[in-house]
Structure 1
Amino acid sequence: MTSEPAEQTELSHRARAMLRAVAEGRAHLATSREPDLYIDGVPCCDQFTAHLLTHAGLITADQGRFGELMPATLTPEGATAIGAVAVAA
């Protein structure tokens, strides 16, 4: 057994792909309490994971009006999460 932090070992392939899309500047978040993620202008198929990534502090967006789409950005923690995965792969 390894003692790696849970947030690094428990990211699914889909979650990592979502983080990469954010890092590439292809994602937007709809501002709300449960922000929905859009990639390439299309609603993401897994909003549950999008909410988890947001609440875990891996992605964020500037505040806008309720429901407004704002560019999503990777937090330092999000960059570390996909960087750690890239090194381990």
Structure 2
Amino acid sequence: MTHLWVCLGISLALSVGGLTLSVDDQTSIVSVRLEVFDLSGREVFSSGPVPGATYKWYLQRDDGRPVANGVYLYIFFIQTADGKELRSSVGKLAVRR
């Protein structure tokens, strides 16, 4: 498993089965949301708001099919208890099976 760090105190863990994102300071987190895009900017996946501070993406499109090999862009959104929405910088992820 590889660990990377993204702004906002978000940790990212890559494994064979998917991508796990979690917020390091979970005390004031209401929900998280992950959006994934191909390099042409088309959305391939959106989790919608998910309660809690951790989300695992299983490398699938919105329709449940696996994403193709390639490079994808992602943004991780955080909804805090005081109503603020924070977002990560745009990250890059390469999928190769």
Q: TM-score, normalised by structure 1?
A: 0.28
Greater RCO between the two (CA within 8 Å, min separation 6)? 1
TM-score scaled by length of structure 2: 0.26
Please state which structure has a larger fraction of its residues in helix.
1
Bigger share in strand: 2
